[in-house]
Amino acid sequence: MQGIDVSAWQGEIDWQKVKAAGIQFAFIRAAAGQKQDARCEENLAGAKKAGVPFGLYLYSYADTAAEAEAEADFLLGIAKGTGVSWPLVFDQEDAAQKSLTKAQRTEMALAFAKKVKAAGYTPMFYSSKSWLENQVDAASIQKEMDVWVAQWGASCTYKGKYAVWQYSNKGQVNGITGDVDRNCSCVDFGAAKPEGWRQVGANWYYGDLKNCWKQIDGRWYWFEPDGMMATGIREIGGKWYALADRSIGPVKEGQCIYTDANGAILS
């Protein structure tokens, strides 16, 4: 899929022409830190009217996990009610963040992802190939969110897992005056998502939930990174949980089991 990412730097955009030029998705800058992009609302309205599926990105200035969470909250406030169907992106590349440790930069990305997931959106991490290879623990980030890698050229040589590749900062697209970043995606994030429970072989899945807790019909379930409903005694986020391995009595397969002070199951 062919796409673009835009900000106030692109000026006024004719989104109908962009759509007609074959652009299949766009990432729109919503904010830099906790300051909204000057053309964010204009671009949101234009993309939506033209029928261009879009995600939102935030250029981060955060230097602590708490600040990354605050940026996530700010982005979520902008995203609410827009009809965004592509990911909410944490753009980490600011020079000031290089003074931090790799662990700190990774912690900020994971804090952002946790906030975005909890709000029901898909998180994504953006940065250059070099940043991903040297400035963060990319393996940890890839477990929690999709990756958008920037490497301008004819091919992407990043060895880690990624969903979107930014291949040029000199793209030309009808409807946009001047250069625009060009991207391709191997995932259609805007495609219709499956709803409800479904069984594949002996395993259960719910919609497109992955790597998260979800309360369904009053019961809590954990879904693995591949979306499979977990069962049994499991360590999740450094804590241990009992997840029913079968349905019996008031307990449903996969639900998190709680007991009262006497050990009786609470249903």
pLDDT tens for each residue of 144-171:
999 999 999 999 999 999 999 999 999 9
> Distance between CA 53 and CA 187 in Å, rounded?
13
Assess whether pLDDT exceeds 80 at residue 267: no
Assess whether pLDDT exceeds 80 at residue 193: no
User: Region 178-201: what's the mean pLDDT?
Assistant: 85
Specify the amino acid at residue 113: A
Q: What stretches of the chain adopt beta strand conformation (E)?
A: 2-6, 25-32, 35-36, 54-59, 88-91, 123-128, 146-150, 164-171, 180-185, 197-200, 203-206, 212-216, 219-223, 232-236, 239-243, 258-259, 265-266
User: Region 219-233: what's the mean pLDDT?
Assistant: 91
Confirm if 164 and 149 have CB atoms less than 8 A apart: yes
Q: What is the pLDDT of residue 194?
A: 67
Specify the amino acid at residue 163: A
Q: What is the pLDDT of residue 107?
A: 97
pTM value is 0.74
Task: Please tell me the least confidently modeled range out of 12-26, 153-167, 211-225.
Answer: 211-225
Which of the four pLDDT bands, split at 50, 70 and 90, describes residue 182? Answer: very high
